[in-house]
Chain A
Amino acid sequence: MTAPSEYDELVRRLASTIRAASLYSPDHPIVRRGVEALAVLSRSALQREDTIVIGFIGDEVVVNAERLLRSAAMLIGFGRDLREREIEKITITAGVSREDFAWFVAALADRSSPVPLATRLQQRGIRHIALGRLNIEEPDDDSAGIAAARRVYGSAVETAQSLWEAAKAGDKPDPGAARKIIDSLARLVSQDRTSLMALTAIKRYDNYTFTHMVNVSVLAMAQARSLNLEGPMLREFGFAASMHDIGKVHTPLEVLNKPDRLTQDEFAQMKQHVVDGAHILRRTPEMPALAPVVAFEHHLRQDLSGYPERIGHRELNLCTQIVTIADVYDALRSNRVYRDGLPSERIRAIMTQKDSPAFNSALLRRFINLMGLFPVGTLVRLSTEEVAVVTHEHPSDPFRPQVKVLLDTRGDAMEEPRLVNTWEPDSRGDFQYAVVEAVDPDAVHIDPLAYM
């Protein structure tokens, strides 16, 4: 049986040779040397095994059922790169030659060809190296609807809690559990169903921490999706977003939940969470490469004036910027022990403060549009002083939705709620109805969902 260290060396060589081939010509000594090493290592392994199957599951690399320890960012990038190119499996069989490897490495490094690599390998007659997809059972897409969404959300929060507690205990969070739930959330975000009303079902002590993890994940994935990011990349956003605050497991509770202004020492403790988070995540197997980066950077701000301080220059990546927006938004809107969540209008005012370096303004504008001005289900006060629930958004004018009027001008419940299209002018061309403001359902004791 081949030792894991040999597999490790083989994959490491493969990764570095492909990387070298993207930097240098195929005849360059460093590429030649890498190819030679690959040939030697695979020959050695194939004396003991019939085939070598290298699989890429997320950022995890598995060789003949041996999971490799992740040693460095190179490997992470390697898996990620192959995944992006929909290569999940490389199979090497006995008889593979140095020339096969040379051609394979060069072909893999060549990103300009429109022909899929697997096809090119076949055309070239390379039989001892094959590419493929892994046969991973996809979980059943459980029934659509709010109940399913609630289940997914509830389960996500519980998973978030278990990940949190594992990290707090000094263990590595279980990425398998995280992946499962991110997949479910990604499906919710990707599918056209009303889904996240499930949030209403969550009632547990201080689950802000865990609901926040899930909410930021959902909000980040939604933003990513609005930028046409799909599949593994969407999930990577979900992962990174859900784990962005994991470093807070080491922050004292009294600092974490302190309603007042933090002292200098307390703020120093709070700031440490970005560093701790990066450490936890970079040691966690299967964690996408972006996750520790986002955990480290999500308080940096556009001009790097945030924290951590004393770090090297960088341009913030898209995922960090998106997570930053989702993080702040969810924190502001959430009810906490010491304060109620802020209304949407107030959050919008805070987040869009002029010249604030906190957010990328283009992304923020997009996020605000994404969240909708008066999204479906919002309880609103009309210009007629009636209270209504938004039932449909207008495709082009977010200020003029279709509403169902629930309370009359005196505040009494309508016997028969009526539908009103606020975009429709009357006979004189004036709008009879306009949405004035959102109304807190608790203030009027109405559950808008009951009227949906």
Chain B
Amino acid sequence: MPEVTPLSPELARSVAGLARTLVAAARSWALYPPEHPAVAASLERLRTSLAEASSRLVVSFGVTPDTLLVDGVPAGDDGPVREAAAWLHQRDILQLSFSSDVPLPSVQALLQLMSEDVVAVRERGGPAVVWGERADSSIAIEQIDFAKVFEERQVEHPVRRKDDLWRSIVRSVTERHKVIDQELQQRLLAIAGDVGAIGDLAQDVMAPNFSADGSPMLTSQAAAVIAAYRHLVSIVGVMEPERRTEVMQNLSAATATLDPRIILQMLGGSDDPAMGAAAGVTATEIRSGIAAGFDDFKVAQLLATTLAIEGQASGRLAGVFDTIAGEEPRKRRVLTLTKTLLTDTSFGQTNQFQTLWTSMEELLLTYNERPFVSAQDKIGLDEIGARADAMKGDIPPELVALIDTLGQDNVRRLSVRLLIDLLKLEEDAARAPELARDVAALGEDLLLAGDYGSALLVTRALAEEAAKPEAVTSAACRAALDGLIESTAFRETVEMLGEMTAEDAGCFGDIGSAVGAGATPVLAQLLDVEALTPARERATAIILTYRGSAAEGLRPILASDNWYARSNAAELLGNLRSPESVPLLQPLLRGGDPRVLRVAVRALANIDDPAAARAVHTVLRAAAGAQRQAVVAALVAERDRRVVPVLLCILNESEPLGSDHQIVIETLGAIGAIGEAEAVPHVAQVMRRRSWIARKKARVLKQVSIGTLQQIGGPAADRALADAAENGDRLLRKLARAAAVTA
């Protein structure tokens, strides 16, 4: 068979694609009405193939009975090309050309013409004449009388004649029958000597193996070809054994003309034991024979086409390549040739090609048939089960302890430890949220089960990661902790806080601290009780660890209908000693319940921040009568020294001889009631205020101040009073002296 320069793999693929879609569209057109979805889909596929082929300048191809010709070069003998060629040939087409953009109606018209009765078309002058009447320039058809050529060919190659004997042979192969008829055997011997006939036989046995959309069923096709070859080799082996080598060479030559994917499948397939016994020759022998007949160029061509189609080297290809090319020097030779072939294709010109090529080369070169474990070691494994069995009666104590590490509790601990470690090691921001959620979910389960020790490990891990702003897991861990706080598990655990043992409560307290101030609203629910229960006490202790950040979380409980809930929350706000508490306490001073008011005032007094005092001051200014007295009474109710700074602040920031006169008078009364020496300088200062206009107010202010100092008592107050009697203004001196006399 003469060598022909083949089409580039890429072009061959393109033509094969067009051929396949053309046949599939024709089949649909013949089977279904034009409006059927299958027809529409196949037409669309055909147009896509046409467009693709046009872009690669494959717009015109010649037709022979066996193949399509592109610029006179056969496009291969593979299934779709051959089928399309035969189909077009039967319809007297010599040449078919497409413009770069074929309209849909033209494609439909072509298929319509092709589906008409061939004899009727011939009677009208042939397909080119009929198409010419349509005056459609997007598709051009040339026609020829192939009958004559075909007849000549049959005379030239009688062995390839598709007569009844030929069909019987094809049937015996596809149906896996043994050929016992003498005439058939003689024909098989003749076919075995003709490369072209072998190729024809291969095509014919493959023909039934196409799927509905026209794509080849590669495995079945390869198996069919191998089966056909085995028929040939078997009969030669029995009747003319001296020809075996020659026949194997013919098989190899014929194989080289097949679709590379089929070749790959043939050479990489596995043996079928049933067939091997029946045919007297194994598929492996056939494969070896074919492979031996492949020269470097053929192997390179096969490799290049397959790589271009698949875009990568597969293990199967590597195996086949190893079978054909064998030793490394040949492999390298073939690879060089392959690279040259591929470099001209668009696949070879892509940016990724060099990278892909490196990995392909590595794969193809490093493949070898050596087992990966030495025979000795393989044998070493033999009887290992029996030896293991013999040993199990004798287990040393240290290993018994090790077996205990498989216990459920330990495995659970290991799972917890693993998740925590994974969280700490995580560097992938995309993976962090899922991981953090899993850790939190584990935390929930542990809380539900009451395994607070493990739950603490988990929450601490989350909290530690959340506290590292630079960690990729930081935000995810914070979100996971927030989710944990909102979970039923956490809420239910909080509800049981009062019933826990001191140890469990301590552990949960640590969990509460770890999850952060977000837990305050959940914990604060335990404040809705009048008595100081363990639950309230424990919840309060946890919330206190949040400091000022807890304040906002207490807002819901401050809106409770229960005075004690509000009161407990107010007390807690005061104990937080944080400026954040002030705005939440302030409204309580205006509320109706004096019990709450009293606590709120004390709470404010507890907060060492000017804002707290200002809050009281504001209320005092705004309130009148009973409410103001209530506030003041609350301030002095327990003679708590901590309220003094608040009172002094009010004193200092008020206008004692103006609108704040009454507030100052009451504040002085409160200061006197508490009797704290710290207040003396402030009272002494107020005492010296003078006004020409408000003389009456000034007199009252001085008198009350003197009284306050007397109430406070002690050396500092005495000194202040003495100083007033000595150095005060006239009125003050008079009042101070009078007071001293009275005292």
What residues of chain A have their CB less than 8 Å away from a CB belonging to chain B?
A: 12-13, 15-17, 19-20, 23-24, 28-30, 33-34, 71-77, 80-81, 84, 188-197, 199-200, 202-208, 211, 215, 218-219, 222-223, 225-229, 233, 253, 275, 278-279, 282, 289-290, 292-293, 296, 308, 310-312, 314-319, 321, 330, 333-337, 340-341, 343-344, 360, 362-363, 366, 369-372, 375-379, 393, 438, 440-442, 447-449
Q: In the complex the two chains form, is A76's CB within 8 Å of B415's CB?
A: yes
How long is the Cα–Cα vector from A193 to B382 in the complex, in angstroms? Answer: 8
| CB-based closest 3 A-B pairs | A377-B379, A73-B415, A74-B445
From B83-91, B123-131, B366-374, give the one contacting chain A. B366-374
Question: CB < 8 Å: which of A71, A191, A197, A377 contacts B385?
Answer: A191
Q: Which residues of A contact B378 (CB under 8 A)?
A: 196-197, 199-200
Q: In the complex the two chains form, is A30's CB within 8 Å of B496's CB?
A: yes
Q: Which residues of B contact A449 (CB under 8 A)?
A: 375, 379
- Given A73-B416, A192-B385, A310-B424: A19 in contact with B406 (beta carbons within 8 A): no
- Is B652 positioned at the interface, with any CB of A under 8 Å from its CB? no
Q: In the complex the two chains form, is A195's CB within 8 Å of B385's CB?
A: yes
- Is B318 positioned at the interface, with any CB of A under 8 Å from its CB? yes
How long is the Cα–Cα vector from A80 to B631 in the complex, in angstroms? Answer: 64
5 contacts between A and B (CB under 8 A): A72-B444, A199-B378, A205-B363, A226-B387, A227-B403
Which residue of A is nearest B367, CB measured?
A: A205
Q: In the complex the two chains form, is A363's CB within 8 Å of B379's CB?
A: no
From B17-25, B255-263, B390-398, give the one contacting chain A. B390-398
Q: In the complex the two chains form, is A334's CB within 8 Å of B372's CB?
A: yes
From B34-42, B140-148, B446-454, B713-721, give the one contacting chain A. B446-454
How long is the Cα–Cα vector from A4 to B431 in the complex, in angstroms? Answer: 25
- Given A194-B382, A372-B387: A312 in contact with B421 (beta carbons within 8 A): yes
Q: In the complex the two chains form, is A202's CB within 8 Å of B371's CB?
A: yes
- Given A205-B363, A371-B380: A312 in contact with B420 (beta carbons within 8 A): yes
Q: Which residues of B contact A318 (CB under 8 A)?
A: 399, 402-403, 405-406
Question: CB < 8 Å: which of A71, A278, A379 contacts B376?
Answer: A379
Q: In the complex the two chains form, is B382's CB within 8 Å of A195's CB?
A: yes
Q: Which residues of B contact A378 (CB under 8 A)?
A: 376, 379-380
Q: In the complex the two chains form, is A205's CB within 8 Å of B421's CB?
A: no
Which one of B389, B418, B424 has the greatest number of beta carbons of chain A within 10 Å? B418
Which residue of A is nearest B445, CB measured?
A: A74
- Given A308-B421, A362-B399: A30 in contact with B379 (beta carbons within 8 A): no
Q: In the complex the two chains form, is B379's CB within 8 Å of A376's CB?
A: yes
How long is the Cα–Cα vector from A199 to B389 in the complex, in angstroms? Answer: 21
Question: CB < 8 Å: which of B379, B388, B496 contacts A197?
Answer: B379
Q: In the complex the two chains form, is A72's CB within 8 Å of B441's CB?
A: yes
B421 → chain A closest CB, angstroms: 4
Which residue of A is nearest B499, CB measured?
A: A29
Q: Which residues of B contact A75 (CB under 8 A)?
A: 445
How long is the Cα–Cα vector from A228 to B451 in the complex, in angstroms? Answer: 31
Q: Chain B's interface: helix, strand, loop or mixed, by majority?
A: helix
How long is the Cα–Cα vector from A15 to B435 in the complex, in angstroms? Answer: 22
Binary flags per residue of B409-453, CB closer than 8 Å to A gives 1, else 0: 011101111111110110000010001001001101110111100
Q: In the complex the two chains form, is B380's CB within 8 Å of A335's CB?
A: no
Q: In the complex the two chains form, is B379's CB within 8 Å of A189's CB?
A: no
Binary flags per residue of B90-110, CB closer than 8 Å to A gives 1, else 0: 000000000000000000000
- Is B158 positioned at the interface, with any CB of A under 8 Å from its CB? no
Q: In the complex the two chains form, is A225's CB within 8 Å of B388's CB?
A: yes
Q: Which residues of A contact B319 (CB under 8 A)?
A: 204-205
Q: In the complex the two chains form, is A314's CB within 8 Å of B417's CB?
A: yes
Q: Which residues of B contact A376 (CB under 8 A)?
A: 379, 382-383
- Is B315 positioned at the interface, with any CB of A under 8 Å from its CB? yes
Q: Which residues of B contact A17 (CB under 8 A)?
A: 448-449
- Is B352 positioned at the interface, with any CB of A under 8 Å from its CB? no
- Is B386 positioned at the interface, with any CB of A under 8 Å from its CB? yes
How long is the Cα–Cα vector from A119 to B555 in the complex, in angstroms? Answer: 55
Q: In the complex the two chains form, is B385's CB within 8 Å of A188's CB?
A: yes
Q: Which residues of A contact B403 (CB under 8 A)?
A: 227, 229, 318
Which residue of B is nearest A319, CB measured?
A: B406
How long is the Cα–Cα vector from A293 to B315 in the complex, in angstroms? Answer: 32
342-359 of chain B: CB within 8 A of chain A: 359
Which residue of B is nearest A191, CB measured?
A: B385
How long is the Cα–Cα vector from A197 to B391 in the complex, in angstroms? Answer: 21
B577 → chain A closest CB, angstroms: 34
Q: Which residues of A contact B382 (CB under 8 A)?
A: 194-197, 375-377
Q: In the complex the two chains form, is B411's CB within 8 Å of A77's CB?
A: yes
- Is B742 positioned at the interface, with any CB of A under 8 Å from its CB? no
How long is the Cα–Cα vector from A292 to B387 in the complex, in angstroms? Answer: 29
- Given A16-B448, A222-B388, A370-B387: A337 in contact with B399 (beta carbons within 8 A): no
How long is the Cα–Cα vector from A375 to B442 in the complex, in angstroms? Answer: 47
Which residue of B is nearest A161, CB measured?
A: B315
How long is the Cα–Cα vector from A4 to B215 in the complex, in angstroms? Answer: 43
Q: In the complex the two chains form, is A293's CB within 8 Å of B373's CB?
A: no
- Given A289-B415, A370-B387: A74 in contact with B399 (beta carbons within 8 A): no
Q: Which residues of A contact B626 (CB under 8 A)?
A: none
- Is B723 positioned at the interface, with any CB of A under 8 Å from its CB? no
A286 → chain B closest CB, angstroms: 15
How long is the Cα–Cα vector from A207 to B378 in the complex, in angstroms? Answer: 15
How long is the Cα–Cα vector from A204 to B373 in the complex, in angstroms? Answer: 12
Q: In the complex the two chains form, is A370's CB within 8 Å of B445's CB?
A: no
Q: In the complex the two chains form, is A19's CB within 8 Å of B372's CB?
A: no
How long is the Cα–Cα vector from A226 to B393 in the complex, in angstroms? Answer: 8
- Is B152 positioned at the interface, with any CB of A under 8 Å from its CB? no
Which residue of A is nearest B392, CB measured?
A: A228
How long is the Cα–Cα vector from A293 to B416 in the complex, in angstroms? Answer: 10
Q: In the complex the two chains form, is B445's CB within 8 Å of A344's CB?
A: no
B647 → chain A closest CB, angstroms: 47
How long is the Cα–Cα vector from A372 to B387 in the complex, in angstroms? Answer: 8
B308 → chain A closest CB, angstroms: 21
Which residue of B is nearest A224, CB measured?
A: B388
Q: Which residues of B contact A308 (CB under 8 A)?
A: 421, 425
- Is B5 positioned at the interface, with any CB of A under 8 Å from its CB? no
- Given A199-B381, A372-B383, A377-B379: A311 in contact with B424 (beta carbons within 8 A): yes
B97 → chain A closest CB, angstroms: 44
How long is the Cα–Cα vector from A81 to B318 in the complex, in angstroms? Answer: 47
How long is the Cα–Cα vector from A319 to B399 in the complex, in angstroms? Answer: 12
Given contacts A205-B368, A377-B379, 19 further A-B contacts (CB under 8 A): A12-B445, A12-B448, A30-B449, A30-B496, A71-B438, A193-B385, A196-B378, A197-B382, A200-B371, A207-B372, A215-B381, A227-B399, A228-B395, A289-B412, A333-B380, A334-B373, A362-B398, A371-B381, A376-B382
How long is the Cα–Cα vector from A20 to B383 in the complex, in angstroms? Answer: 45
Q: Which residues of A contact B410 (CB under 8 A)?
A: 317
How long is the Cα–Cα vector from A228 to B391 in the complex, in angstroms? Answer: 8
Which one of B376, B387, B406, B492 has the greatest number of beta carbons of chain A within 10 Å? B376
Q: Which residues of B contact A71 (CB under 8 A)?
A: 438, 441, 445
How long is the Cα–Cα vector from A441 to B373 in the complex, in angstroms? Answer: 13
- Given A202-B371, A341-B373: A375 in contact with B450 (beta carbons within 8 A): no
Q: In the complex the two chains form, is B418's CB within 8 Å of A226's CB?
A: no
Which residue of A is nearest B437, CB measured?
A: A71
- Is B242 positioned at the interface, with any CB of A under 8 Å from its CB? no
Question: CB < 8 Å: which of B377, B393, B408, B419 contacts A80?
Answer: B408
Q: Which residues of B contact A316 (CB under 8 A)?
A: 405
Q: In the complex the two chains form, is A19's CB within 8 Å of B399's CB?
A: no
How long is the Cα–Cα vector from A218 to B388 in the complex, in angstroms? Answer: 12
Q: In the complex the two chains form, is A441's CB within 8 Å of B369's CB?
A: no
How long is the Cα–Cα vector from A73 to B448 in the complex, in angstroms? Answer: 13
Q: Which residues of B contact A218 (CB under 8 A)?
A: 381, 384
How long is the Cα–Cα vector from A285 to B226 in the complex, in angstroms? Answer: 43
B337 → chain A closest CB, angstroms: 21
How long is the Cα–Cα vector from A190 to B387 in the complex, in angstroms? Answer: 10
Q: In the complex the two chains form, is A360's CB within 8 Å of B391's CB?
A: no
How long is the Cα–Cα vector from A197 to B446 in the complex, in angstroms? Answer: 47
